[in-house]
Chains A and B, each alone.
Chain A
Amino acid sequence: MEIMEVQDLCKTYGKGEAKVEALKYVSFTLQKGEFAAVVGESGSGKSTLLNCIGALDEPDGGKILVDGQDLLAMGEEERTIFRRRNIGFIFQSFHLIPELNVEQNIIFPLLLDYKKPDLRQVDGILEVLGLQERRGHLPGQLSGGQQQRVAIGRALITRPKLILADEPTGNLDRKNSREVIELLTKASRQYQQTILMITHNPNLITSVDRVMQVADGVLSDLGGNANEKLS
């Protein structure tokens, strides 16, 4: 089942001399449950792509369909609510809310929807993340790896159609990086979660279903890498 479709996405920054074509007619699709990685040199346009897909940035042209819905045709409020319910974000520098504890940070997207969180689900996620002991702690009291795990929990809580992760291991050491990737892989397997992850660490793409490369704003599909589903 096709969960996301990107067609002819273009994005240009600046004008005249300073003009940068960050994305040039990028098109691809993602299937449900797919764990895809985007690799490429620094400045090649990976973040721009992710931000456009996540509706954080407006592309100059093209189309983005998430679960059949045209993201760019929505109004501001509608798009925000769509994002809240259907797209989870994981950032390089975590971006947890410092005034909320671990549990509150995880259920934050639900709270924004004025929904009552399902306690069993929250406990389940905390267990998967290995954060049961820390549920009452504030982000400031956690290590970087723990903070990123909270961010993953926050992205998972709404069971979004799509999780976007921009270099989620960029601020972490090797051990924590591996743990984070393991968690994402587990989520992808266990919950049939579709994930699009940017990374430039080649060691981390061994467990993904598919690798795409961006070079100078042009996307090319490198195909499946150690596709475990087939083996």
Chain B
Amino acid sequence: MKNYLELIPVSAKIHRRQTRMTRWCIVISVFLISVIFGMADMFLQSQKNLAIMIDGAWHVAFRELDAEQMAFLSARPEVKTVTRYAAANYKLNMDYEVGGVQTVLCGFDETFFEIYPAAGLLEGSFPKGTEEALVSEGMRNRLGLGIGDEVEMTTPGGSLSFRISGFVEDTSMMLKTDAFGLFVNTDTYLSCFREATLREDFVCYVEFLPHCRIQKAIRDICGQLHIPEDKVSENARLMGTLMQSSDHYILMLYLIAFLLAVLVAVSGMMMILGSMNSNVAQRTEFFGMMRCLGATGKQVRRYVRMEAAFWCLKAIPPGLFASVLTVWGLCRMLKVITPTWFGEMPGFGVSMPGVFFGAVIGFLTVFFASRTPTRKAAEVSPLTAVSGNADTVFAAKRAANTGRMHVETALGLHHAAGSRKNLILLTSSFAFSIILFLGFGIGVDFMKHAIKTLRPYTPDVAMISHDNACSIPDSLYAELKGMEQKGNVGIRRVYGRSFAYDLPVHMQGESKTAMLVSYEAYQFGWAESSLTQGDMESAENGEGILLVEKQGFVSEPGSEIELETDRGIQRVRVSGVLRDAPFDGGEDVGTIICSEDLFRELTGETGYTILDIQLRDRSDETVEKLRSMAGDAYSFSDSRASNRETRAVYFSFALFVYGFLAVVALIAVFHIINSVGMSVSARMRQYGAMRAIGISIRQLQSMIAAETFAYLAGGMAEGLLVGLPLHYYLYRQAVTQRWGDAWSLPVAECLIIAAVMTAAAAAAMLGPVHRIRRMSVVETIGM
């Protein structure tokens, strides 16, 4: 040994157990911090991908620009792409038709495809000439078209003819509404449909270069081109994920995210501090010894610095590495499960923020924490430092109260509460688990409000009568039902509804309008969860009806309603009240639901307005088969693409939100196991001495249990005291302000985290108890 600094690895070897624990602690803390930040980063990236797929890659859109302004815009250095876009008949109410099918009409520049990657050009090329057009995949398939063919479009102003230059993928909107699409270039659009299109419909989409300060760029552009504020709109979804939004609500969400990030960082620091503090005693002794042997204060400080560097080197890289692997795993999951949406996600990208925060927080905390024992060693005299009386981490200043309880319980509680510093440190580390969990729990509340999910009743495809009449014959329903029962053609469920619109009703002495809808067994089953009063069964039997509650339509089960149908005035009894229904007839129109038999009895109609189908096999062949069964008599709505979209959005959100919660719960578990383990470790010598005096293992277990319980109880109380107000505040900002839902006690979250903590506390005692069982008294007390 040439230099005293070479003692570092030697000392690490001698205190192997302690060293291993501390190292694991740092590894895991760094891992958890880095995973959380890495996940947050990947979450933003996935949401950005999703935003680009759904809403496009544009950042800002300007309406009503003239040619000069356009030219100026394209010339700006920070602008990457500019494209003009206009659409007509996107609400399918303007009588533009090809082959008798409602057709959406769009005009755009060639750059449009860069901004809308979801609008894929299947084959052919962009329509350069005024007589050329792209048409949708659906139109190609159903009309049997090829490139070079002519299509004839009927418009309110006469018919127009285009030569097909290529085909574009169907959008989920076109699939769902069973519409065609026809796309021409901007000039053609302007010359053919000028009168049909409002000037406001013309939008200029702008995509900026990466790393551009978008809000500033928008301000500059608006200022220079004199564009009024109401002509500017942002791609809120994309801007939100780029952290560049100007929306107040989204800024609030950033603030919440920042708050949570700070909480995570603090909890990571606490974990590392806790683990390093626990071997302060041993290390104080060691530094005391070094001072005794003649090391100067400066030498000890240098030693400490080197030692911290040694910890960092040994523990931080493995933690970071593990977190990178975990984040990769999550990304793979996204990519494999929903390849259409997240194919763009980096496969083996390293999240810079994750690695950065993990490394920096780990490094700083280790460095900071490693100084404490030096200070302590300097404070205590070298003699006490080496005499073995610096045993306890925080020496008690009062004697334990052994009068009322068993001595082991009293001592256990005293170990926890004897030193206020120790108690505060440990209970607050327990409390942090609750605070973090409640904080991140807001993500779930936010998700429930902001992210649409598929309902049990969401169909994959549907057949819908053209004129809202009950014109789909009973026989088609029977045929499909037969296929469902035989398990044929990949059908999972078929369920139909008949609608009777604008029925005059008389209830509670007032005349109103309502629509009558028929349900069958599946739909009655799904409605069960929104039943607030009365019973479902008598409605299902046809004895009564269900009323959907809304303003002006409030009633009690048992009251009567008069309905006027083609068959005259009929009286029905309300047998149940529903909170809501999947459809709504509009303002001042009530919704009345009844069984199919009752519907027939009341209206005389036997057909259906809608047949919804859920598929077991969602392939194109299945859908084509069903489409051909429907023929042209009904429109065929294909919701698979939009369902996929909904599912992808929800999945990507849920993966991360629950991922965060899982990591937070892990932090709690680790925190608790670590704190208890460290606390026991620090007193191992004392436990050894007690064993020599004659304490039994069982009594030692109770002592540790009492100590753990004190931390748990104190931590929970403290955690709820701080966590609930925090939850209330975050909920108000993230949910109440936007959706108006009032805050309620997050009982489920509290119970879950309490259960996790209790289980962790129980598990935390296993290790130490095992160690005590195996402990050699002689070696432990060093005789």
Give me the interface of A with B, judged by CB distance under 8 Å.
Answer: 47, 51, 54, 56-57, 76-77, 80-81, 83-85, 87, 89, 91-93, 95, 97-101, 104, 108-109, 111-112, 114, 136, 138, 140, 154, 166, 171
Contact = CB atoms under 8 A, between A and B. Distances in A.
A97 B690 contact: yes
B508 interface: no
Contacts of B213: none
Given A91-B689, A98-B396, A99-B396, A84 B694 contact: yes
Nearest to B384: A140
A81 B395 CA distance: 29
Contact of A76 (B407, B686, B695, B697): B697
Contacts of A166: 783
A89 B693 contact: yes
Interface string B389-416: 1011001111110100011100100110
25 contacts: A47-B778, A56-B692, A80-B691, A83-B692, A83-B694, A84-B693, A84-B696, A87-B694, A91-B783, A93-B388, A97-B689, A98-B391, A98-B395, A99-B399, A99-B418, A100-B399, A108-B693, A109-B694, A112-B407, A112-B695, A138-B396, A140-B389, A154-B693, A166-B783, A171-B387
Given A56-B777, A57-B778, A166-B783, A112 B699 contact: yes
A166 B777 CA distance: 14
A99 B411 CA distance: 7
Contacts of B781: 91, 95
Given A51-B783, A84-B696, A140-B389, 14 more contacts: A54-B692, A56-B783, A93-B387, A93-B388, A95-B686, A97-B411, A100-B400, A108-B693, A111-B402, A112-B696, A138-B397, A138-B398, A166-B783, A171-B387
A84 to B, nearest CB: 3
A141 to B, nearest CB: 10
Contact of B783 (A84, A85, A92): A92
B402 A100 contact: yes
Contacts of B389: 98, 140
A108 B406 CA distance: 11
B776 interface: yes
A86 to B, nearest CB: 9
Contacts of B395: 98, 140
B698 interface: yes
A76 B781 CA distance: 19
B783 A104 contact: no
Candidate in B399, B686, B691 with the most chain A CB atoms within 10 angstroms: B399
A48 to B, nearest CB: 9
Given A56-B777, A91-B689, A112-B407, A77 B697 contact: yes
Interface in B641-697: 686, 689-697
Contacts of A83: 692, 694
A186 B574 CA distance: 98
Contacts of A104: 399-400, 402
A81 B783 contact: no
**Top 9 closest pairs, chain A to chain B, by CB:** A84-B694, A95-B689, A111-B407, A101-B399, A56-B777, A80-B696, A99-B396, A99-B400, A83-B694
Contacts of B691: 56, 80
Contacts of A100: 399-400, 402, 411
Q: Pick from A95, A100, A109 the residue with the most CB of B within 10 Å.
A: A95
A174 B396 CA distance: 30
Contacts of A77: 696-698
Contacts of A101: 399
A47 B783 contact: yes
Interface string B763-783: 000000000000011100111
Interface-central residue, B395, B408, B690, B783, by most chain A CB under 10 Å: B783
A153 B388 CA distance: 21
Contact of B694 (A76, A80, A93, A98): A80
Nearest to A144: B387
Contacts of A138: 396-399
A136 B402 CA distance: 13
A111 to B, nearest CB: 4
A87 to B, nearest CB: 8
Nearest to B406: A114
A56 B778 contact: yes
Nearest to A140: B395
Contact of B776 (A57, A91, A154): A57
A180 B419 CA distance: 32
A99 B414 contact: yes
A85 B415 CA distance: 25
Contacts of B406: 111, 114
A98 B776 CA distance: 21
B657 to A, nearest CB: 45
Contacts of A47: 778, 783
Which of B391, B411, B415 gathers the greatest number of chain A CB atoms within 10 Å? B411
B702 to A, nearest CB: 11
Interface in B376-392: 387-389, 391-392
Counting chain A CB atoms within 10 Å of each CB, the highest count among B388, B407, B415, B693 belongs to B693
Given A97-B411, A99-B415, A112-B407, A80 B695 contact: yes
B695 to A, nearest CB: 5
A77 B773 CA distance: 11
A52 to B, nearest CB: 10
Contacts of A54: 692
Contacts of B391: 98
A100 B703 CA distance: 14
A14 B483 CA distance: 79
Nearest to B689: A95
Contacts of A95: 686, 689, 692-693, 781
A112 B689 CA distance: 14
Contacts of A85: 694
